[in-house]
Amino acid sequence: MIEKEDNPLKVLVMAMIFAGSVLMVYNIWGFMRFSKVVQKNKEQQKMERILRLPIILLILFLIGYILVGLFGHPDLIVAGILFGGSIFVFVMYRMLDEVTKHIMENERLEAELMASEQSRKTKERFLATMSHEMRTPMNVILGLDGLALKNPENPPETQEALEKIGHSARHMVGLIDNILKMNELNAEEPSGRSESFQLKDAVDQVNVITNTVSEEKGVHYESRLEPDAEGEYLGDEIQLKQVLLSILDNAVKYTPPGGMVRFTASCDSCTDDQAVLKFVISDNGIGIDPEFLPHIYDPFAREDDSATDRYGGSGLSLAVSKNMVERMGGTIEVSSRKNEGTEFAVTVPVKRIKIERIPEPVMEVSLAGRRILIAEDVKENAEIVADLLELEDAESEHAENGQIAVEMFRNSSVGYYDVILMDLRMPVMDGLEATRRIRALDRPDAKTVPIIALTANSFESDKKQTKEAGMNEHLGKPADAELLYATIRKWLQPS
């Protein structure tokens, strides 16, 4: 009777030992497989050597299981301990396996992230270099073309040829800008710039550029800044101007000569400390087909390739503008009728700075007699800028690199230079380092002399660096004469 009771118990004991042995074989196989995986990773080879010890121990445990099962007389307690040991090793192996997989996945993702970051930096360096190298000769072409156009003795045929050169060169500059726009389009981070700016100053700068373009094409341009929108705000002025200029450029581009483009800036909703600025740009140009309207923000989208041939453009400007507006937390809407015109409405939330100021009469600052230091390594570029300044009766001096510019400023008398125009990429010493050294000089005008970046480096990172280095403004090449004059006058205004 006892023997019958003992038989089921013995079967259970042997089953537990057999199951534990099979599980231990799996554990040994798992640790050996895990060791091979670790061995492939050179950084983990020390860990692979450590794993040899548990594999040897597990093999000894397995031999012990087999010997106990064949020659021993195990009871339920011994069998339970042996089986429990196999389960414990199995759980530890699975945990170690999962942790290692997690670590290796993190390492893979980190490697991919580093590769992606390296690729992004390489792409940015390439785009910055290509943009700079292409903009430099374009600056010479447009500068000389602009100077030649101002000659009243040009025969009509020469004047017409110069105008065509200018149009073609500006179209080329637009294509170069699209290189930068493609990079902007891929930026997903929200706009981080938040600086104080006067809306009137921003609108005036937009008007200067748009007036020049519209006059060249024979398009009438009207601009109005509503009184409720005037004031000082906290936001991304640079990005806001880029959006407005891009949409206005399209409006002028697709409006035939004799047509009209209107620009209105108003305050959609304003409180003492918050505001939603609204900008409406309308034209009576060729318009957009209703079926194409949903696709106007798609990159490279074109309603009619023949229109592209006539008017130019790559189909990127609106996609980039929408991206910028949304990064500022705003909206952009469009309505249009074919052959009747188009209207864009842009709203941007900003913080309002309420400052009580006594209105002062705005005086037109003359550049006559002003002395301007031009830091530029390309001789032709420096000569063009000097000629442009000479048209306003301003005097200029040239420094071939940043180090010479620092020395010329250091050796001059206080207040000798009214403005410094600083290129960024120069041999010996770049414009950023030159600006930092000028700002660090122990003389009264070192901190106050306006330093304006005049450069082909037009990435957002470049603009941020110029600000951090101590520059007052960032202008891109090719230099627009009217914008250059307006910017210099702005920083020569008496404080």
pLDDT greater at residue 392 or residue 50: 392
pLDDT for 138 beyond 90: no
Percentage of the residues of the chain whose pLDDT score is greater than 70: 76
- Give Cα 91 to chain centroid, integer Å: 49
CA distance 59 to 110: 37
Radius of gyration of the chain (CA): 36
CA distance 43 to 39: 9
Residue 186 pLDDT class (50, 70, 90 cuts): low
pLDDT for 201 beyond 70: yes
What does the pLDDT look like over 398-429, one tens digit per residue? 999 999 999 999 999 999 999 999 999 899 99
CA distances in angstroms from 127 to 75, 116, 119, 176, listed in the order given = 77, 16, 12, 10
Q: Return all residues near 361 (Cβ < 8 A) that are at least 6 apart.
A: none
| HSE of 485, CA atoms in CB hemisphere, 13 A | 17
Range of 229-233, 307-311, 404-408, 486-490 with top mean pLDDT: 404-408
pLDDT greater at residue 169 or residue 404: 404
For position 266, what pLDDT does the model report?
92
**Which of 196-210, 298-312, 356-370 shows the lowest mean pLDDT across its residues?**
298-312
CA distance 398 to 454: 14
The rounded mean pLDDT for the chain is 79
Do the Cβ atoms of 261 and 214 come closer than 8 Å?
yes
Task: Calculate mean pLDDT across residues 123-149.
Answer: 74
Residue type, 272: D
CA distance 464 to 469: 9
For position 308, what pLDDT does the model report?
46
249-273 residues labelled b (16+ CB within 10 A) or e (exposed): bbbbbbbeeebbbbbbbbbeebeee
What does the pLDDT look like over 53-100, one tens digit per residue? 666 777 777 777 677 767 666 766 766 776 777 777 777 767 767 766
What phi and psi values does residue 278 have, to the nearest 5 degrees? -120, 130
CA distance 26 to 45: 23
pTM, entire model = 0.51
Residues forming a β-bridge with 333? 345
What phi and psi values does residue 269 have, to the nearest 5 degrees? -155, 125
Q: Return all residues near 49 (Cβ < 8 A) that are at least 6 apart.
A: none
Task: Calculate mean pLDDT across residues 132-143.
Answer: 74
| HSE of 81, CA atoms in CB hemisphere, 13 A | 8
Q: Would you state the torsion angle of the CA atoms of residues 300, 302, 307, 313, taken in this order, to the nearest 10 degrees?
A: -20
78-94 residues labelled b (16+ CB within 10 A) or e (exposed): ebeebbebbeebbeebe
pLDDT for 358 beyond 50: no
> Which is nearest to 331 in space by CA: 350, 317, 348, 318?
348
The sign of the dihedral angle between the CA atoms of 448, 451, 452, 457 is negative
CA distance 364 to 383: 26
Q: Which two tokens stand for residue 41?
A: 């990773």
Q: Which two tokens stand for residue 18?
A: 């057999």
CA distance 158 to 170: 18
Q: Return all residues near 221 (Cβ < 8 A) that are at least 6 apart.
A: 207, 210, 211, 214, 215, 252, 260, 261, 262, 263
CA distance 439 to 22: 77
CA distance 68 to 14: 10
Strand, helix or coil at 270? strand
Q: Which two tokens stand for residue 160?
A: 């017409």
Q: Would you state the torsion angle of the CA atoms of residues 301, 305, 309, 310, taken in this order, to the nearest 10 degrees?
A: -90
Range of 70-84, 138-152, 223-237 with top mean pLDDT: 223-237
Does an H or E element contain 278, and which? strand 274-283
CA distance 59 to 442: 78
CA distance 60 to 439: 75
> What does 394-462 look like in DSSP terms, one character per residue?
-EEEEESSHHHHHHHHHTSPTT--SEEEE-S--SSS-HHHHHHHHHTSSSTTTTTS-EEEEES--SHHH
